[in-house]
């Protein structure tokens, strides 16, 4: 089950999503720790920075720029809880990646 956490800062939506997915995999980190590990800036956190920031944890984070609905469905069926970034450049010039997936892994700290 995916727990729900409210984001703590106006630009911390990615960190809040990562926190929820990690908690679903029984890894409990605070949003501040996630923001620090993934090097969030004042304008937010890019999904591309998540895999490096979570290195050493028992998850494998990957970024996919070419996923479609079938890929997202498949990940959800495996309880991998993909985080989807919405491309907003055509609307307001902001950038977002397509999807990121966190999977349980045997990697230890």
Residue 6 maps to a domain: no
Residue 80 maps to a domain: yes
Integer CA distances (angstroms), 53 to 18, 58, 78, 91, 99, in order: 11, 12, 23, 29, 16
Residue 44's domain spans which residues?
A: 13-104
How deeply is 60 buried, as exposed, middle or buried, from its count of CB atoms within 10 A (0-12, 13-18, 19+)? middle
pLDDT at site 108: 41
Residue 7 maps to a domain: no
Q: For 75-94, what is each residue's pLDDT tens digit?
A: 888 888 888 887 666 666 65
Q: How confident is the model at residue 33 (pLDDT cuts 50, 70, 90)?
A: very high
Q: For 16-25, what is each residue's pLDDT tens digit?
A: 999 999 999 9
Residue 8 maps to a domain: no
Q: How many domains does the chain have?
A: 1
> What gap in Å lies between CA 48 and CA 37, rounded to an integer?
13
pLDDT at site 107: 43
């Amino acid at each position: 089950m995916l727990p729900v956490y409210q984001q703590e800062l106006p630009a911390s939506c990615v960190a809040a999503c990562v926190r929820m997915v990690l908690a679903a995999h029984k890894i409990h980190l605070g949003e501040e720790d996630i923001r620090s590990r993934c090097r969030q800036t004042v304008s937010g956190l890019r999904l591309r920075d998540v895999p490096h920031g979570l290195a050493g944890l028992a998850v494998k984070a990957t970024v996919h720029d070419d996923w479609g609905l079938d890929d997202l469905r498949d990940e959800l069926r495996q309880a991998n809880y993909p985080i989807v970034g919405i491309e907003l450049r055509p609307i307001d010039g902001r950038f977002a990646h397509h999807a990121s997936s966190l999977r349980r892994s045997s990697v230890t700290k």
